Structure 1
Amino acid sequence: MNWLLVIAGAVVGAPLRYLTDRAVQAGHDSVFPWGTFVVNVTGSLVLGLLTGAVSAGAAGPHLQLLIGTGLCGALTTYSTFSYETLRLTEAGAGLYAAANVVASLVAGLAAAFAGVALAGALTT
């Protein structure tokens, strides 16, 4: 029955990803894929927070399946990040493509570390 938890999380994560991407991108007049960037960094923060909570014993495996695998799995998107970076490169926007790669990697890792640290601070 664990798969039901994954599906339930994905049912929320997929439309949340789409709606967030559209809302964020509509607010920016730029070729930079801000919507994908925001959902990926947000997902990294949530997953870091959840991982820290699970490590501290404040959350269990069912929540990890629901939020981590289901919601974050559907919310974040490596394939769209890759495609948008490729599209930027093909359009001659190499600087934006490089910025997307570097900013996504740095911000995503920072968000994950921040989530783990926040969970640690909240559970002690």
Structure 2
Amino acid sequence: MTGPDWGWLALGAAVASPVRYWAGVLAKSSGARPFPAGTFAVNMAASLLLGIALEMRLPQAWIQSLLATGFCGALSTWSTLAWETTGFVRARMTLLAAAYLAASVAAGVLLAWAGTAVGRQVWG
């Protein structure tokens, strides 16, 4: 990765990090609704966008650094998914933990596949 690529990566992450934060704030789960909708939403959006970004086949490598690594990398959050799932297990909400984990992985894979299909249609 060259010097300018690092800058694009940092810019993508700088834009995505506040988006990730505010998605969590706006979709804050409560005791009445414990499902972590914010984490789920940003992880699904990042999966779709990553699929698209990796199929863009553009000569400008900086776009990959900006979108795929920088933006999608900072937007998605496996660590928060793991922490929230662990919280459900600790609270003895094992069915919700399993459902959240399964839905996150399954939907993420499907959206990454859909993003790849979209990317191939547009840039293939």
Query: What is the TM-score when the length of structure 2 is the normalising length?
Result: 0.90
For residues 58 and 109 of structure 2, the distance between their equivalents in structure 1, rounded to whole angstroms, comes to 22
Match of 1:81 in 2: 81
Contact 2:48-2:114 at 8 Å conserved across structures: yes
Percent of aligned pairs with the same amino acid: 37
Shift of 1:120: 1.2
- Counterpart code for 1:85: T
**Aligned counterparts, 1:58-77, within 5 A:** 58=58, 60-77=60-77
Select the residue among 12, 30, 39 that pairs with 2:15: 12
Select the residue among 41, 45, 60 that pairs with 2:44: 41
- Counterpart code for 2:111: A
Match of 1:22 in 2: 25
Query: What is the TM-score when the length of structure 1 is the normalising length?
Result: 0.90
Shift of 1:64: 0.6
Contact 2:47-2:108 at 8 Å conserved across structures: yes
Match of 1:3 in 2: 6
Match of 2:99 in 1: 99
Contact 2:29-2:35 at 8 Å conserved across structures: no
Contact 1:50-1:59 at 8 Å conserved across structures: no
Partner deviation per Cα, 1:57-112 (whole Å, 9 max, x = no partner): 24632111011111111110010000000001101111110011100000000000
Shift of 1:13: 0.7
Q: 1:47 to 1:22 in 2, by over 3 A?
A: same
